[in-house]
Amino acid sequence: MMGAVPGHMKLVEVAGSFSLMFECGDLPADVAVFAAEHEPNGYFWEGVVRYLADGLLSQVELDPEAAGGTSICFKDPDGVRLELLADPFGEMYGTKVL
């Protein structure tokens, strides 16, 4: 399965299913998001994922309102697709994931 994830991301395994999530509104990119007059919430990050890896969204379960709208969560039965999502998000913050 996946290697280490950057500090702003959290990987959880429950009963063989994997979830990749991160808190919205407390990320280094937030300054740029606000400067572009957007709100760095789960729906914003869903749009980023659509831009970076649109084909993967049909293969994972997405919850842009996780934790009451303060997190975004991607769920995957075996974690393979999460690995593909984690890599661009990690590199976006200067952290190589794999």
89 pLDDT exceeds 70? Answer: no
Q: What pLDDT shows up at residue 88?
A: 61
User: What is the secondary structure of 8-55 as a DSSP string?
Assistant: TEEEEEETTEEEEEEESSSSTTHHHHHHTT---SHHHHHHHHHHHHHH
Q: Could you tell me the end-to-end alpha-carbon distance of the chain, in angstroms, rounded to an integer?
A: 11
Question: What are 21-48's pLDDT values in tens digits?
Answer: 877 777 778 888 899 999 988 888 888 8
- Report the predicted TM-score, pTM, of the whole model to 2 decimal places: 0.69
Q: Percentage of the chain with pLDDT > 90?
A: 5
